[in-house]
Amino acid sequence: MESILDRLKDKKLDTSTSNKRKLYIESYGCAMNFSDSEIIASIMADSGFQTTEDEMDADLVLLNTCAIRDNAEQRIRNRLIHLKRNKREKPNLIVGVLGCMAERLKDQLLEEEKLVDLVAGPDSYRDLPKLIEEVNDGAKAINVILSKEETYADLSPVRLNSNGVTAFISIMRGCDNMCTFCVVPFTRGRERSRDPDSIVLEAKNLLDNGYKEITLLGQNVDSYLWFGGGPKKEFKKLSTEEQASSVDFADLLERVAISVPGMRVRYSTSHPRDITDKVVHTMASHKNICNHIHFPVQSGSSRILDLMNRNYTREEYLEKIDMIRGIIPNCAISGDIIAGFCTETEADVEDTISLMKQSNFCYSFMYTYSERPGTLAAKKLQDDVSEEDKSKRLTKIIEAQNEVSKAINHGLIGQTLEVLVESEAKRGNADWKGRSDESIKVIFPKANHAIGDLVQVKITKATTTTLIGVPV
């Protein structure tokens, strides 16, 4: 009988010249979507599809979509219109939309606009071969049913567009947080954790295949919890026996770090309400766990945070920042910021900017608020900040972050950092590009180094986003 270890052996892209059907897959949005695309490629490989990087060579085109902001949906619609033109040249081409747009826009995409042949939600990827058969039989195919159990734990991802150095490992799916601005609980379903043994096996397999860094992925990794026979949300609701055999995120992080001592270990994303000092102490105890936490705040105003249903105040967020840096004084912290949420005032924006500076974010992902249909904010709050004001506020927030990032980066001039080489720098081919332990981009001359090397680099120059140095 095939073991879970056998099933988790990393699949390679099939580059043979056989008559296999060709799959072209495009990913949008968060790292979780890119990780899901590797699961999809694995499922389709077992059904006889060879992955191609040329959409015109494909028999099946799948767009793995993001619905977190309106502009992401518009980009995907434009791609579908382009692909509809491709179908004129290749009438048997099958086009499908997967992921977060699938459930919300299934009727429009399939029937009203006739842009796609199949629609599949994040929990129905195992059903793709059957859906394709339905399309071949002349039907429009759809499955957007959400699952309370599916984690794809037994599937070995096909590493798409891989540099052979860094890889994602999904440790859980779904989200229970119900932030009012967020569509994820409705598109990805309830939270469920993956068997830790399968996660460790996947990490070991990546190490065996030469990878040097992994990122453990979840919508909220700090709420990861596994006990004996399966996933369960709240530790306090477990029996004494279940508690004794349970694995929380700190336990998982330690297991992974110990199992792959030659690899860097990162994780994303942490929720400020749920991160514990146990997690941070685990980071401090293992050299191969990177010195960086992505710690979305969304707003520096307690009033806005309450409207967002983030379940912490400004003061509580800053207390968590103090806890982290009390254990790891030089821990790099990055954030997410939303500008222009419902009822936001200029005073709320100033609160956000002051929190960013106090937290000393090394970088942030910053966006204007985009109301998403079906979310609690869309149902209960008025999107009353003008687009002009949203844009102006975002500009102020970006300028503030640039100021903080520049100061952090310039403070690193003269220091020597360990950098993992990931690729050639974009400008010319004389330099390597990689990331420091703190997840800051570093560029330096190639010398005798290669992709995948860990290099000691002395920083000689800095910009707002990049460090420049020389290997030592």
Q: What is the CATH number of the domain that holds 466?
A: 2.40.50.140
In a domain, 158, yes or no: no
Q: What is the pLDDT of residue 395?
A: 98
Here the CATH number for the domain that contains residue 336 is 3.80.30.20
Here the CATH number for the domain that contains residue 99 is 3.40.50.2300
In a domain, 150, yes or no: no
Total domains in the chain come to: 3
Q: Same domain, yes or no, for 344 and 302? A: yes
Q: Same domain, yes or no, for 139 and 196? A: no
Distance CA 321, CA 147 (A): 35
In a domain, 20, yes or no: yes
Q: Buried (b) or exposed (e) across 19-56, using 16+ Cβ within 10 A?
A: ebebbbbebbbbebbbbbbbbbbbbbbeeebbbbeebe
Q: Same domain, yes or no, for 276 and 366? A: yes
In angstroms, the Cα distances linking 435 to 40, 147, 182, 432 are: 28, 36, 30, 10
Q: Same domain, yes or no, for 318 and 433? A: no
Using the 3D structure, point to which of 410, 440, 457 is the last residue of a domain.
Answer: 410
Q: Same domain, yes or no, for 313 and 264? A: yes
Q: Same domain, yes or no, for 245 and 123? A: no
Q: What is the pLDDT of residue 162?
A: 85
In a domain, 148, yes or no: no
Q: Same domain, yes or no, for 405 and 435? A: no
The model carries a pTM of 0.89
In angstroms, the Cα distances linking 147 to 8, 125, 176, 190, 191 are: 22, 11, 13, 8, 10
Q: Same domain, yes or no, for 124 and 13? A: yes
Q: What is the pLDDT of residue 14?
A: 46
Q: Same domain, yes or no, for 334 and 457? A: no
Using the 3D structure, point to which of 373, 391, 410 is the last residue of a domain.
Answer: 410
Q: What is the pLDDT of residue 467?
A: 98
In a domain, 155, yes or no: no
Q: Same domain, yes or no, for 112 and 252? A: no
Using the 3D structure, point to which of 392, 410, 428 is the last residue of a domain.
Answer: 410
Q: Which domain holds residue 357?
A: 166-410
Q: Same domain, yes or no, for 188 and 120? A: no
In a domain, 38, yes or no: yes
With beta carbons less than 8 A apart as the criterion, state whether 290 and 264 touch.
Answer: yes
Q: Provide the residue-wise pLDDT of the chain in tens; the chain has 472 residues.
A: 344 445 455 554 444 445 589 999 999 888 888 999 999 999 999 999 999 999 989 999 999 988 777 777 788 888 998 898 888 888 899 999 998 888 777 877 787 668 899 999 999 999 999 999 999 999 889 999 988 888 999 899 989 888 899 999 999 999 999 999 998 888 888 899 999 999 999 999 999 999 999 999 999 999 999 986 555 556 667 777 777 778 999 999 999 999 999 899 999 999 999 999 999 999 999 999 999 999 999 999 999 999 999 999 999 999 999 999 999 999 999 999 999 999 999 999 999 999 999 999 999 999 999 999 889 999 999 999 999 999 999 999 999 999 999 999 999 999 999 999 999 998 768 999 999 999 999 999 999 999 999 999 999 999 999 999 999 9
Q: What is the pLDDT of residue 328?
A: 98
Tell me how far the alpha carbon of residue 109 is from its chain's centroid: 25
Q: What is the pLDDT of residue 273?
A: 95
In a domain, 242, yes or no: yes
Q: Same domain, yes or no, for 215 and 356? A: yes
Q: What is the pLDDT of residue 245?
A: 79
With beta carbons less than 8 A apart as the criterion, state whether 369 and 397 touch.
Answer: no
Dihedral (C-alpha) 317, 318, 323, 324: value to the nearest 10 degrees?
Answer: 80
In a domain, 444, yes or no: yes
Dihedral (C-alpha) 313, 171, 250, 8: value to the nearest 10 degrees?
Answer: -170
